[in-house]
């Protein structure tokens, strides 16, 4: 894939997304798909339309017709993504029960897995060490991956530009790896989605004039989950650890939230104001600073994934160091709770013994 091809796809999809945003804004206001501030978890001023994900979706579909229609095998993904969009639009107008939303996500994932082309059947940690999944387990694991990442991106959508920015960083990494490995299909589809997302970020960066809503966060999560499998299947040097590392921020934030809520006896689906972005926002008192810090963390995970793809041993060393830093971060900002500080306790015990 040439630089001109990459630039053309990105610029075209960016322009389509950017130009369609005013229309989507008016539509969102007319159908009352808007977000009101509540001073608890939502601190924006005034009523903000939350259907921005529809512009991303429209740009992606048009971009696919222009640049990706020659490829075969994405039909099931398009059907699944359409189900995700319909549920998201409905939820942005009238909030639906989590079980109904989960059912729609699962149906979309089943359609993709049923195609047989998007299946995770092994886990390569290092060369020579491969865990092959049993035939019955592969579709289950793939379904869990797609639904899990869809919800992870949705959960982290709590700050202007956050979910869209992390999604863009992940898509840049996926596109780079696909281009590097010569996977033309994976690169083209990923670039289409990246350009569509970048066109939305212009309107979503603080202070946002439109939110992506569940329409956007679920669609981006769903597509990133599927594209990561596509890249893993097509890239000869890749293993499935790479997309896990790339999506380190939303995966860890979701995992930590589940642990935190279970320790408190809460439902794992119960929202709170103790996610990573909430804690950083309280500390920095600046949406932009918080955003840039999390972008930086996400970029570190992406760089680690790229290094792992090229030199697995060095990638694992870098990942181990990064996870130690993340643990320090979790304890510093008490993301699980004030009593959860195993690393800090170990360090204090070590220093006391030395004295």
Q: Is 331 within the bounds of a domain?
A: yes
* Predicted local distance difference test score (pLDDT) of residue 73: 72
* Predicted local distance difference test score (pLDDT) of residue 101: 93
Please tell me the distance from the alpha carbon of residue 98 to that of residue 5, in angstroms, as a whole number.
41
Question: What CA–CA distances, in Å, run from 167 to 61, 150, 190, 198, 219?
Answer: 18, 11, 11, 10, 11
Q: Is 144 within the bounds of a domain?
A: yes
pLDDT, tens digit only, all 355 positions of the chain: 888 999 999 999 999 999 999 999 999 999 999 988 765 555 556 789 989 999 999 999 999 999 987 777 788 999 999 999 999 999 999 989 989 999 999 999 999 998 867 888 877 666 667 778 888 898 999 999 999 999 999 989 888 899 999 999 999 999 998 888 888 888 999 999 999 999 999 999 988 999 999 999 999 999 999 998 887 666 544 567 788 888 889 999 888 888 888 888 887 777 777 788 888 888 887 888 999 999 999 999 999 988 988 888 888 899 999 999 988 888 888 888 888 888 888 877 777 766 6
C-beta of residue 24 within 8 angstroms of C-beta of residue 210 = yes
* Predicted local distance difference test score (pLDDT) of residue 27: 95
In the three-class reduction of DSSP (H, G, I as helix; E, B as strand; rest coil), residue 48 is classed as strand
* Predicted local distance difference test score (pLDDT) of residue 39: 54
Residues 6+ apart with CB under 8 A from 8: none
Q: Which domain holds residue 264?
A: 3-341
Tally the domains of the chain: 1
Phi first, then psi: give them for residue 70, nearest 5 degrees. -70, -20
Q: Is 324 within the bounds of a domain?
A: yes
The DSSP secondary structure of 110-174, one letter per residue, reads HHHHHTSSS---EEEEETTEEEEPPTTHHHHHHHHHHHHHHHHHHHT--STTHHHHHHHHHHHHH
Question: What CA–CA distances, in Å, run from 333 to 77, 159, 282, 337, 340?
Answer: 38, 17, 10, 9, 10
SS3 content of the chain, % helix, strand, coil (to 5): 70, 5, 25
Q: Is 351 within the bounds of a domain?
A: no
Q: Is 226 within the bounds of a domain?
A: yes
Q: Is 349 within the bounds of a domain?
A: no
Q: Is 96 within the bounds of a domain?
A: yes
- The reported pTM is 0.90
* Predicted local distance difference test score (pLDDT) of residue 100: 93
C-beta of residue 107 within 8 angstroms of C-beta of residue 83 = yes
* Predicted local distance difference test score (pLDDT) of residue 133: 83
Q: Is 347 within the bounds of a domain?
A: no
* Predicted local distance difference test score (pLDDT) of residue 216: 95
* Predicted local distance difference test score (pLDDT) of residue 342: 86
Question: What CA–CA distances, in Å, run from 68 to 1, 77, 176, 251, 257?
Answer: 13, 13, 17, 29, 37
Residue 264 DSSP label: T
């Amino acid at each position: 894939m040439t630089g001109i091809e990459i630039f053309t796809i990105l610029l075209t999809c960016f322009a389509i997304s950017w130009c369609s945003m005013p229309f989507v804004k008016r539509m969102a206001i007319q159908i009352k798909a808007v977000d009101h501030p509540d001073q608890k978890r939502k601190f924006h001023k005034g009523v903000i339309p939350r259907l921005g994900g529809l512009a991303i979706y429209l740009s992606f579909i048009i971009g696919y017709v222009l640049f990706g229609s020659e490829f075969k095998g994405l039909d099931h993904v398009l059907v699944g993504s359409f189900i995700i969009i319909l549920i998201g639009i409905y939820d942005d107008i009238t909030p639906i029960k989590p079980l109904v939303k989960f059912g729609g996500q699962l149906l979309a994932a089943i359609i993709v897995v049923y195609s047989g082309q998007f299946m995770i059947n092994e886990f390569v940690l290092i060369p020579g060490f491969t865990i092959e999944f049993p035939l019955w387990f592969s579709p289950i694991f793939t379904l869990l991956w797609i639904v899990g990442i869809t919800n992870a991106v949705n959960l982290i959508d709590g700050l202007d530009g956050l979910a869209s920015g992390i999604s863009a960083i992940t898509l840049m990494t996926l596109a780079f790896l696909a281009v590097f490995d010569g996977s033309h299909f994976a690169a083209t589809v990923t670039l289409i989605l990246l350009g569509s997302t970048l066109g939305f970020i212009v309107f979503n960066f603080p202070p946002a004039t439109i939110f992506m809503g569940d329409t956007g966060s679920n669609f981006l999560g769903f597509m990133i989950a599927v594209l990561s499998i596509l890249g893993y299947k097509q890239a000869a040097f890749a293993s499935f650890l790479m997309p896990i590392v790339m999506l380190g921020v939303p995966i860890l934030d979701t995992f930590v939230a589940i642990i935190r809520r279970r320790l408190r006896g809460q439902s794992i689906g119960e929202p709170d104001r103790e996610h990573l972005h909430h804690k950083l926002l309280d500390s920095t008192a600046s949406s932009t600073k918080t955003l840039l810090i999390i972008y930086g963390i996400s970029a570190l995970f992406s760089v680690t994934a790229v290094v792992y793809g090229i030199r697995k041993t060095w990638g694992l060393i870098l990942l181990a160091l990064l996870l130690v830093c993340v643990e320090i971060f979790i304890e510093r900002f008490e993301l699980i709770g004030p009593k959860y500080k195993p690393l800090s306790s170990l360090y204090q015990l070590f220093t006391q013994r030395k004295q």
